Amino acid sequence: MYQKEFMMEAIELSKKCLETGKGGPFGAVVVKEGKIVGRGSNHVTLDNDPTAHAEVMAIRDACRNLKTFQLTGCEIYTSCEPCPMCLGAIYWARPERIYFAANQNDAADAGFDDSFIYDEIAIEPQDRKIPSTQENRAEAVNVFQLWKNCASKVDY
């Protein structure tokens, strides 16, 4: 259920990021049962980490606080529509719902244009701007086979 105060907290985190000079204008919160269980803001430049987007930071914080690797029963509120990386991270975390404020066009207008990534995903790996080459598939598939047969694995 959408709660305006959670979205406003995400937007406030994005604003604080600018005011403190810690990163770009992005903030996110993870909510479970009406309580914020994780917060994140953009720390890409602060941490020298291109994966330190607000949504990823909020997911990490929530998972630490909840002591789990999945956000079942949670909602994510983010100040901007998630980029492809964050959307992937959100899907892996498996929350119930995503709420966002600004959209990808608003982000592009501010200099955060992710359209090239969406375009690249549809291109064959070897033809992308950063070419990919598959090597040693058989050896890697053998490890997956070991995983499939591992009695102590934790599915996720």
| Block residue for tokens 């479970």 | 32
Q: What whole-number distance in Å separates Cα of residue 47 and Cα of residue 134?
A: 31
Q: What is the pLDDT of residue 1?
A: 67
Residues 127-151: pLDDT tens digits? 999 989 889 999 999 999 999 999 9
Q: Which two tokens stand for residue 119?
A: 């375009």
User: What is the rounded average pLDDT for all residues in the chain?
Assistant: 95
Residues 39-81: pLDDT tens digits? 999 999 999 999 999 999 999 999 999 999 999 999 999 999 9
Residues 13-39: pLDDT tens digits? 999 998 998 899 999 999 999 999 999
Whole-angstrom CA distances from 46 to 50, 95, 148 are: 10, 27, 39
Enumerate the active-site residues.
55
**Do 127 and 40 touch, CB atoms closer than 8 A?**
no
Tell me what percent of the residues of the chain surpass a pLDDT of 70.
99
